[in-house]
Structures are given as structure tokens and as C-alpha cells.
Copies of this chain bind each other. A is one copy, B any other.
């Protein structure tokens, strides 16, 4: 506690989307103010924070003024440009730190980090041109999936290679960016663990959630997941190893495949995670408050779960269901205040309480 930020301190958040928005609300509940930095105008987090800076990531004057106004910096997504982080880091602590970002910004670095930790990932090989792609396909086989090493999000920058002749088109889809070829994993279930590590090194994890993706976008998370007790324990322990190896501070999301051979790590996200939204209505301390506790030096909450919850994203025209959802029992609605619907755009989510206690 002695290192904890005092009441009224200001947290800088890079990115003002729905994650920044929910972080800002959680920060307020703990008596902190938030200053959101976002390149867009009227970012969703702007409705619930003390201050907003709308400026490009390259605006050094705006970045300097932002840093000077805050006590600690965090982020809601992992693709903040390196030069931006360099500038900010010189002025204020960034939590989680650059190492976590370096690992998660690059799919190849991430996979190598996980493998070095002794964790299982999909088979993978680096791809930079037609030759390395040919070698990678030969090594990994098909079907496989080619992904850009950086800036992937919600299924963008990815191309499937079902047979060797798909390779040229897949490579073209990378538009010259360095890539990684990943083998398919035969899994029965996708789950994720949302875990946190405090400034004091203590770790806490939420019960794993079972995820359903559609078109590369998370559709639904259910807790409890259909896991055995030992799978659940493995998932949580594995998240703890990642947190400790990175000396991580904050909340981290770990996506896992459940296979007959054990758990396979799909990817890690160094931030609060869509598949952890259920904690808002299933836990006393949700993932957003947990993240704020971690980065401000407060003790972590215990992560205990008091309800069975199904979290469902409201994407694009799912917003037409809002009137019905408002009238449903045991449904908590969380809308993001985005003025414009677009196909594939996350507009909100609902937490449906299936059972309490």
C-alpha cells in the first residue's frame, strides 16, 4: 500500500475505446481520475473520464502534455507505436511495461517467448517471402494459417492456406508485411484465463471462461467453462507463469485451446480482455478494477466468482435486440455509446446471470 497512488491521482489511458471506457469507470470507483489519449474524436471513453486528448500518436507536444498531467500510464490495446511509447516512458511509468508489449505486439516473438517458457503453442515458422513461405508450408503442412507478425486484430491480416497452391494468394494478402505461418490446432474448446499480477508480485486469476468466436470475433464467453478440475488448474497456473516471467503488472488475457494432448496457448493480450467482461456481473472485483488496482499499487482483489454468467457481445445490428434485452430478467446491459453502427463493430455486451451463489 505504501507505494499505492493516492486518492485523486490521475491515470493516463492510451486508447479510448470500450476497454478504456470501462477502465475509467473502475478507476473512478477507486477514487482516481483518468485522462484518455486517443487519435479519434469523441472516443467512447470520453463520456466517462476526467479529461480527453484527441491527437495523433505522433503529436509529440500533445504526448508530452498528456504525460505531464498523469501519474501512471496504461493502455487498452497493444498496438501503440513504439516511438510514442519511447517518449511517454521517459516521463512516466507505463504499466504493464514495454516487455509485455514487445512480446505481444509480434506474433513470432510471442510464440517464441511461450515456447521458451515450456508452454505448448501451435507449430509455427517465420515467413518473409515466397521462399520462406514454401519452407514453412513444407515444415508445418496444411491446413495452416498465415498471419502478419504485427497489428493483427479481430481476424484481420490473416489468410488460410488449405493446400500448397493457396500460398501465393495468402502471401499477397500480407501486403509485404513480415508474417508467421501457424499450423492448425485440433481443439475441442477455446477458453481464456484473465489473470492479474500486482506491483507487489502477487497473482490472482479469474475462473477460465469458454469462448465462442465467429468470423474471428469473440461472440460469447461462458463461465464456468466445460473443463475438468485439472484443466482449470493448469490454465490458471500457466497464466501465472506468463505473468511472473514478464514481471507483469496489470491484467492479462491468455487464450487457450483445449486439446486431447493438453492446453495449447493461442495468444496473450497484455490488457483487460473482451472474454473477461463477465466479471462485471460475476465477481465483486471485476477485471477493470483489478487492472486499476494492479497499476496503481493497490492490493489485488481475490477474483472469486459468485455467479454463472454468459457474456454475449452486441455486434453491429445486434443493437436491434436492445429493447428485448432491457426487458429480460437477470440480464445486465453494457453499451459503449458508439454513435455509429458498423458491421463487425462491437457496440456493447450483455452479461446474462444464469445462476447465483
Contact = CB atoms under 8 A, between A and B. Distances in A.
| Integer count of this chain's copies in the complex | 2
Interface residues of A, number: 48
Contacts of A179: none
B281 A335 contact: no
7 contacts: A1-B326, A21-B28, A25-B48, A29-B335, A284-B332, A307-B356, A355-B357
A349 B357 CA distance: 23
A337 B32 contact: yes
A333 B48 contact: no
Contacts of A329: 284, 302, 304
Contacts of A49: 47-48
A60 interface: no
Interface of A: 1, 7-8, 21, 24-25, 28-34, 46-50, 281, 284-285, 293, 298-299, 301-302, 304, 306-307, 319, 323, 326-327, 329-337, 339, 348, 353, 355-357
Contacts of A348: 31
A332 B30 contact: no
A335 B7 CA distance: 9
Given A29-B334, A284-B330, 15 more contacts: A1-B323, A7-B319, A8-B337, A8-B339, A25-B25, A25-B48, A28-B47, A28-B337, A30-B333, A30-B335, A31-B337, A32-B337, A47-B50, A284-B329, A284-B353
Contact of A24 (B21, B48, B299, B304): B48
Contact of A357 (B31, B285, B302, B356): B356
A190 to B, nearest CB: 27
Contacts of A24: 48
A346 to B, nearest CB: 13
A48 B337 CA distance: 14
Nearest to A32: B337
Nearest to A348: B31
A192 to B, nearest CB: 23
A298 B284 CA distance: 27
A293 B322 CA distance: 13
Contact of A327 (B31, B48, B284, B299): B299
A124 to B, nearest CB: 40
